[in-house]
Amino acid sequence: MIRGPPCCWRRGAIRPGSSRESLWFVAFDVTRVRAAYPALNDGYAHLDGAAGTQVPTAVIEAIAETYRSGIGNAGGAFPASGRADTIVAECRRAIADLTGAEPDGVILGPNMTTLTYRLADTLSRQWGPGDEMVVSRLDHDANVRPWVQAATRTGATVRWAEVDPSTAELPAAQYGELVSERTRLVAVTSASNIVGTRPDVPAIAAAAHAAGALCYVDGVHATPHVPVDVRALGADFYATSAYKWSGPHIGTVVADPALLETLHPDKLAPAPSGVPGRFERGTAAFADLAGVIAAVEHLAALDPAAVGSRRERVLASMATVERYEGQLFTRLLDGLAAMRHVTLYGKAARRTPTAFFTVTGYTPREVAAALADRKVNVWNGDNYAWELVGALGLRDSGGGVRAGLVHYNDQAEVDRLLAAVAELDPTTPDGVR
């Protein structure tokens, strides 16, 4: 739990160095937030949050305390087993508060990819020739390939929603053409993990529902950046991974329990037959689930002025986080856009604070290595956004460089990245190799 003075809005400030003026800016106490993360003391600027965040002390302690106090397998007659049962139930409640789902609709597992393959396997038992599914070129491959492979296996047809390469927008209007009474499922991301585009998921889900199809939403990249309400999104399934929002390596898919009741995944004979237990395989990572609970508590406390239930505090805190990250991102984008040797990809109207760029004269890997030398962590490559990197024409040249901001990043880190990239200008003495 983070403690400290309340966040506040201040009026009349103009962001230094920005080409655009802002009448309002949020004074988010990032110093207080950073103090919660021991790993941030290693001297590096951690701008690789889109690939996985650092974890706060409260999460580390929750995991350690679970082991320290003794843990048994679930469903037993003794207290240590009861603690495992309690953790699982509490974890479902925490994820429900994070996403706006029902605790009984929270499926827990190792990661989003594994769970999505499981759901694709289960859902596709009802598909056959003549059925169709719609996937998008904006998505991480984990919300593409499981559906494409399941469709291929069952003889169903795959239709593709295309990205406008000049903006990296995924126009929702195309779903009117793509979806028909043959459509069984529409899979779409609520934010691109490389360019940050946030498509109009409610409109896409409405198109799916009007045709009687289900909508599977990949919320892995969006969840750390925005308040999430799965009902408002229209998501029949919403997937997210705790390691992207300050938690351990755990994935989850949430759905209406009534929908889950209609689905029957493969399971072991003695394993739970109810919902959501029948979607979970083998023994859970109980200590990590305790870490997930602590991570949700941490998010709920990011804005100390937030009050009410944990769900209300999560929503208020994530709204504050979204505004803070937005300001920091403007500084990052403005700085990169001013560099002649940098090409930026994506300019969607609504996006997470995730920049994707290339640098003239350097491969993305060389840029990432040069930045690492200057103690700046960024990711390079396709980041599994395989279709999008192809649509942007970058697949054969090593993809791009991704700098992703999260709530614990600060202006000094952004400025360090900008200074490091500026040094790579091939027309300056430093940039000549």
Question: Least distance from C-beta 244 to ligand PLP, angstroms?
Answer: 7
Indicate the residue among 219 and 227 with the shorter CB distance to ligand PLP: 219
Contacts of 251 (CB under 8 A, 6+ apart): 108, 109, 110, 111, 112, 113, 114, 115, 239, 240, 241, 242
Q: CA 381 to CA 364: how far, in whole Å?
A: 7
Contact window for ligand PLP (CB under 6 A) among 38-46, 87-95, 217-225, 411-419: 217-225
Instruction: Give the Cα-Cα-Cα angle 390, 343, 358 (nearest 5 degrees).
Output: 60
Q: CA 360 to CA 368: how far, in whole Å?
A: 13
Contact window for ligand PLP (CB under 6 A) among 196-204, 216-224, 262-270, 404-412: 216-224
Among 54, 124, 193, 380, binds ligand PLP (CB under 6 A): 193
Question: Least distance from C-beta 266 to ligand PLP, angstroms?
Answer: 20
Indicate the residue among 111 and 122 with the shorter CB distance to ligand PLP: 111
Q: At what angle do helices 57-68 and 286-300 cross, to 10 degrees?
A: 150
3-state secondary structure of 358: strand
Question: Least distance from C-beta 194 to ligand PLP, angstroms?
Answer: 9
Phi-psi region of 374 (alpha: psi -120 to 50; beta: other; left: phi over 0): alpha
Alpha carbon dihedral 319, 320, 321, 324, in 10-degree steps, equals: 130
**Polymer length of the chain:** 433
Among 218, 280, 303, 382, binds ligand PLP (CB under 6 A): 218
Indicate the residue among 251 and 431 with the shorter CB distance to ligand PLP: 251
Site residue total, ligand PLP (CB under 6 A): 13
Q: CA 354 to CA 357: how far, in whole Å?
A: 10
Strand ranges, E, within 14-118:
24-27, 45-46, 106-109
Contacts of 421 (CB under 8 A, 6+ apart): 336, 339, 342, 359, 367, 371
Indicate the residue among 133 and 250 with the shorter CB distance to ligand PLP: 250
Among 142, 179, 213, 254, binds ligand PLP (CB under 6 A): 142
CB-CB contact of 156 with 133 (8 Å): yes
Among 140, 310, 313, 416, binds ligand PLP (CB under 6 A): 140
Cis peptide before 272 (omega within 30 of 0): no
Q: Count CB atoms within 10 A of the CB of residue 196.
A: 26
Among 83, 221, 310, 331, binds ligand PLP (CB under 6 A): 221
Question: Least distance from C-beta 80 to ligand PLP, angstroms?
Answer: 29
Among 49, 100, 227, 251, binds ligand PLP (CB under 6 A): 251
* Residue 145 CA: distances (Å) to CA of 119, 150, 182: 12, 8, 20
Asked if 225 touches ligand PLP (CB under 6 A), the answer is: no
Among 241, 246, 320, 380, binds ligand PLP (CB under 6 A): 241
Indicate the residue among 221 and 310 with the shorter CB distance to ligand PLP: 221
Q: CA 300 to CA 313: how far, in whole Å?
A: 5
Per-residue binding string, ligand PLP, 100-139, x by CB under 6 A, is -----------xxx--------------------------
Contact window for ligand PLP (CB under 6 A) among 213-221, 255-263, 359-367, 371-379: 213-221
Asked if 235 touches ligand PLP (CB under 6 A), the answer is: no
The letter for the amino acid at 336 is: L
Contact window for ligand PLP (CB under 6 A) among 65-73, 140-148, 257-265, 387-395: 140-148
Residues 291-330 contacting ligand PLP, CB under 6 A: none
- The contact set with ligand PLP (CB under 6 A) reads 111-113, 140, 142-143, 189, 193, 218, 220-221, 241, 251
